[in-house]
A and B are shown apart, each in its own frame.
Chain A
Amino acid sequence: MMRAKTQLRDPQFLSLLIMAFILALFPVSRPAAYYLDLLFRIFMFVIMASSFNIIGGFAGYISFGQVAFFGLGAYTVAIAIRDWGLPVFPYVLPLAGIICAVIAGLIGLVVLRLRGAYFIIATIGLTLLVQTLVVNLKEITGGGMGISLPLFPYPMWMIKAIFYYSMLVTMLATLFVSYWILNSRFGLFLFSIRENEDAAEAMGVNTTRYKILAWAISAFFTGMAGGLYAPYMSYINAETVFALPTTIMMILMTVFGGRGTLWGPFVGALFLTVLSDYLIGVIMSELNMTIYGVLLVAVILFMPLGIVGTLREKIPKLRNILK
C-alpha cells in the first residue's frame, strides 16, 4: 500500500485530482443541459471501459460480459424504485453494485477457468443467457415490456445535478480504484496473469482468487453505472441494457484509449463519445457509421497500443503520468 505522501507526489494521482476538480466545478459554469447529459454518458462509458480494463486490460481476460452487469444493475435499481418508490434510490445503488459483484464472483468461479477465445465466447453466451433469463422472469422484470420509472419530482437543475455528480463520483471511484490496483501488489499479480498465467501459478500466485476479485470489482462499478442509467432514462428494457454493441463499445474505448493503462479508458470513452455525437450532428446519413468504422480500423492498425499507450511509447517524458 502507498503512503499518502508518496501518492501526492505521484503525477498520475495528481492528474486524477486535478481532473476531478475540473469536472466537479464544471456545472457551476451553467452549461446547456445537453453538455451535462454528454458528460453523464461519457462518465458512464468511462466507468464501463475502466471496469473492463480491470479484467481485460490488467488481467488480460477479454470479457464480453460486462454489459450483463450493466443490465443487472439497471434492472435491480429499476425494480427497487418501481416497487418501493424513488426515495429508495440512494440505498439501492451501491446495493446493485454489490449484487453484481457477488453474481460476478459466483459466475467467475465457473467461467474464469476458461482461457483466451473460449473465455470470450463464454462471456458472449453469458450475456445473452442473462438477457433471456431477465426477459423470461416476467413476474419480476416486466419481461419484454421493460420497466417504466417515475420522473424525479425536483426542478430540472437539481435532477441534472444529482445524476451528474452521482455518475462523476462513481467514475472517480472507479478511476481511483484502478489507480490503486495499478500501484499495488494486486495489480502486479493481475499483470502476471496477463503475461503468463501458468508461470504465475507456478510461482505461487493464487490466480483464481485474483481473477475473480478483478471481475467482481469490474462488475461492481459496471452495475452501479447501470443503476444510475435506469432512473436517468426513466425507462429501460432488456434489449437496450443488455445490448451487445454496448459491450463492444466498452472494449473498443479501452483499446482505443490504451488497454492496461489508467487514462486509456477515459481517453477512449471521451474521444469516441464526443466523436459519435459530433458525427450525428454533422453527417446525417448512414455514412457517419462508415466514418466511425474507418477511424476505428485506422487506429487499430496504426496505433494498436491505443492513444495513451502509443503516447507513452513515443514521449518518454509523459511516462510518469500515463502509466
Chain B
Amino acid sequence: MGSILFSNRAIARIHAAIIVVIIIVAGVAGAYYYLITTPGPPPPPATEILIGTSVSITGKYADSGRWHIEAYKLWEKQVNEKGGLLGRTVRFIIYDDKSDPTTAVSNYERLITVDKVDLLVGGYASEIVFASSSVAEKYGYLFVEGGGRSVTIFTRGYKYTFLTMPCLAEDDGRGFIEFIDTLPAAKKPKTFAFICEDTLYPISTSVGAMAYVIGGVKNAWTILGWLGDVSKVTFDSIKSAAQRVKNELGYESPYEVVFFEKYAKGTTDVSPIISKIKAIGADVLYVGGYLPDSVMAVRACKELDYNPMAIFATVGPSMPDFGLSLKDDAMYVWCGIMFHSETSWSKEFVESYKKEWGRAPDYHAGTAYAACQVIEAAVRGTGSLNNTVLRDWVASRNTPEKAVTTVVGPLYWDERGVCGYAGMVTQWLKIPEKRGLADYLVWPLSVREVDPVWPMPKWSERS
C-alpha cells in the first residue's frame, strides 16, 4: 500500500494529520455557522396563505385521496373568488403520502419546516391520521381532519386535532338501531351477526355497533367504556357485557349479538363466514370494513342465498362505486353516513362540485371540504393565522348554538376534538322516478327521502 516516495509510517502520519485537520476545520466551521444562523428579522408579510396537506395520491387509499384533492381544490378556487382569506390568496400545497404513514409524517414535517405553511388540513385513513396528528401536535398546528374517526385518535389528550366527521366509527350503527327501534314488533329483528376486517376502523365500527345492539342508544358508550381496548373484544366479552347490562343497568335489550368474527386483511373469500352465519340464521348482518369488504360480503350473501332481514355495511354503500360495482345487487343494503347530496346543507356544494369535476362528491370529499370550511371560519372569526389562537377558537365552538356551518351539517366539538353526532342512515333502492339506483336517505325522519324497505326481499324473489 505504500508508494515509492513515502514510507508506510509517513503515510500513517499523514492520514492522522488529515483527520486532525478535518476535525479542527469542522469544529471551527460548525461553530461559525451556528453563530451566524441565529434567527434573523421576521419575514415580510406574504401575499399568500399557504395551506399544506398530505394526501394519498397513490397506494391503497388513492381513491379517497382523489376526493380530498378535488374538494380542496374546489374550496381553494371558491375562497379566492371571494377575495381570499384576510385579503390574501390561498394556495394549497399537496404532497403524496403513498398511503404510507411514514411518508405522511415526513410530508407534514416538510410542509411545516421547509415550505413553512401557515395552516394544515388533515388526510385520510385512521392509521395515517394517527401519525400525522402527532406531527401537528408537536409543532402546535391546528389539525382539522375529515378522514380518521376511530375514537382512539381523540383519547390521547391532543389539543390541536379536530374532527369534521360527525359520526365516530363507533357510532356508525347508531342511526340504524334507532330506526329498528321504530319497527313494529312483528317485523323487528332479534339476532345480529357481525363480521369485520381485522384493522383499526372496521373493528371500531363493529364493536361500537354491537354496544348499541346490546345496550341501546342510552348505554352504548358506557358499554364501550367497559370493553376498553376494542381490539381485545371478542364474542365472549360481548356476551358478558350483555349480561352485565342486564344486571347492572337493568336494561334488557330486545336484540342479541349471536355472531362476531374478524377476518384477516387480505382475505380473498368470506364465504366460509357467511356460511356459518347462514347456518345460525341471524336476522341482521353487519359488515365492518371498506368498499371491497362490502362488495365481497354482499356477493357472498347472494351466492350462498343467505337472506337476512337486512344487510348493513360500512363505508362501501356510502360511495357511488358501490352501485356501479354491484348494480342491482346493491339494492336494500343499509349504511350509516354523515354526508349526503340530498341534505339542505350540502346541495350547493354538490352542484358546484359536479360542475367543477364532472361527478357528484362522496363523503370523503364532503368531510374534506368541511375541514376547509372550519379553518376558513376560524381564520375569519379570529382574523389571525396564529395556530394556537385558531385552535382556541375552534375549541370554543362547543355547543350546537355556536356550531360552524359546513356541508356535513353544523359542527361543534367536545374537549377531545370530536364533533357532535349527526349520523344518518341510507338504504340502496332503485326508484326510476327519483335518482334510479342510489342510496336514499331514510333516517332520521327529518331528512327522509323515501320509506325504506324492510325486510330485504329474498334474492330469489328479485327480478
A185-B16 Cα distance, complex, nearest whole Å: 27
The answer to whether A29 touches B33, judged by C-beta atoms less than 8 angstroms apart, is yes
A281–B94 alpha-carbon span in the complex (Å): 8
The reply to whether B62 and A286 form a contact with Cβ atoms under 8 Å apart is: yes
With A33-B109, A240-B102 known as contacts, the answer to whether A8 contacts B15 (CB < 8 A) is yes
Contact A28 to B127, CB < 8 A, known contacts A144-B200, A233-B134, A286-B58: no
User: B1 an interface residue at 8 Å Cβ cutoff?
Assistant: yes
**Smallest CB–CB gap between B229 and chain A, Å?**
7
Give B188-237 interface residues, CB cut-off 8 Å to A.
197-200, 202-204, 229-232
Question: In the complex, which residue of chain A has the Cβ closest to the Cβ of B39?
Answer: A30
Report A71 CB to chain B, min CB distance, Å.
13
- From B19, B110, B127, B232, contact of A237 by CB (8 A): B127
Within 8 A of B (CB), among A7-41: 8-9, 14, 17-18, 21-22, 25, 28-30, 32-35, 37-38, 41
Give the docked Cα–Cα distance between A315 and B114 (Å).
38
Q: Is residue A109 within 8 Å, beta carbon to beta carbon, of the partner chain? A: no
- A14, A144, A277, A280, most chain B CB atoms within 10 A: A144
Given known contacts A34-B114, A144-B199, A144-B200, is B134 in contact with A284 (CB within 8 Å)?
no
Chain A residues whose C-beta falls within 8 Å of the C-beta of B34 in the assembled complex: 28-30
CB-based contact A240/B101 at 8 Å = yes
Listed stretches A134-142, A205-213, A254-262; interface member: A134-142
B62/A151 in contact, CB under 8 A: no
Judge if A173 is at the interface, Cβ distance under 8 Å.
no
Instruction: Check if B255 is an interface residue, CB within 8 A of chain A.
Output: no
Interface size range on B against A: 35 or more
A195 adjacent to chain B (CB < 8 Å) = no
Q: Does A317 contact B (CB under 8 A)?
A: no
Asked whether A21 lies within 8 Å of B22 as measured between CB atoms, the reply is yes
Q: How far is the CA of A237 from the CA of B30 in the complex (A)?
A: 39
Q: Tell whether, in the assembled complex, residue B130 and residue A148 are in contact, meaning their CB atoms are under 8 Å apart.
A: yes
Inter-chain contact A235/B131, CB cutoff 8 Å: yes
Interface residues in B83-133 by Cβ distance below 8 A to A read 94-96, 98, 100-103, 105-107, 109-110, 112-114, 127, 130-131
Confirm or deny: A239 has a beta carbon within 8 angstroms of a beta carbon on chain B: yes
Q: Which of B15, B37, B114 contacts A30 (CB 8 A)?
A: B37
CB of A304 within 8 A of chain B? no
Check B138 against A28 for contact (C-beta < 8 Å).
no
Determine if A235 and B26 form an interchain contact, defined as CB atoms under 8 angstroms apart: no
* Interface residue ranges of A22-78 to B (CB < 8 Å): 22, 25, 28-30, 32-35, 37-38, 41
The B226-268 residues at the A interface (CB cut-off 8 A) are 229-232, 262, 264-265
Q: Given A21-B26, A29-B34, A143-B231, are A280 and B103 also a contact pair (CB < 8 Å)?
A: yes
Cβ contacts A to B, 5 pairs, < 8 Å: A25-B26, A33-B109, A34-B114, A142-B229, A284-B57
